[in-house]
């Protein structure tokens, strides 16, 4: 009987001494330089024009609210317009407080209006507080919107007077 090892073919790499790590560490890979085509002059000029245009647009946007350097920058607004705006804001705050307090009172006495006067004071307070909270947030939105509108109007008026 023959052994299986006799039938197996001989390893072709058995006699070769492979030192892969030495070969890899001593080798060097050299890539050819990349081929960069020259830039088209027309495209380069167009890019420069567009970048200058957008830089000018950005500068104009940033300096839109500023007066020109040659103009006289004395503030000509009267003190009455500031007082008028402050008076309007003060009245808006007073109106805000009165409306929220009125909605609480309405919610507190709502059970009496519907004929159910047997509601406990805690239920009345919760009803009044919930209505006052809803009115508070709704009125706060309009208060802040109008205060900003008053400030924007004052800024526009002062810019128009300066130019």
What's the average model confidence in pLDDT over 123-143? Answer: 93
With contact defined as beta carbons under 8 Å apart, do 107 and 130 qualify? yes
Q: Which residues contact 130 (CB under 8 A, 6 or more apart)?
A: 107
Among 72-81, 107-116, 125-134, name the most confident range. Answer: 125-134
pLDDT bin (cut points 50, 70, 90) of residue 52 is very high
What's the average model confidence in pLDDT over 138-148? Answer: 84
Average per-residue pLDDT in the chain? 80
Q: How far is CA 148 from CA 76, 98, 151, in A?
A: 22, 21, 5
Domain ranges of the chain: 79-162
């Amino acid at each position: 009987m023959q052994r299986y090892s006799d039938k197996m073919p001989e390893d072709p790499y058995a006699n070769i001494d492979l030192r892969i790590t030495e070969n890899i560490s001593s080798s060097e890979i050299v890539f050819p330089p990349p081929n960069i085509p020259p830039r088209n002059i027309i495209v380069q000029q167009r890019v420069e024009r567009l970048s200058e245009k957008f830089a000018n647009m950005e500068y104009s946007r940033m300096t839109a609210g500023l007066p020109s350097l040659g103009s006289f920058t004395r503030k000509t607004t009267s003190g009455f317009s500031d007082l008028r705006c402050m008076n309007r804001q003060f009245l808006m705050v007073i109106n805000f407080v009165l409306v929220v307090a009125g909605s609480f009172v309405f919610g507190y006495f709502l059970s009496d209006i519907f004929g159910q006067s047997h509601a406990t004071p805690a239920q009345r307070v919760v009803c009044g507080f919930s209505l006052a909270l809803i009115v508070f947030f709704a009125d706060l939105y309009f208060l802040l919107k109008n205060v900003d509108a008053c400030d924007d109007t004052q800024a526009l008026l002062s810019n128009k007077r300066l130019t």
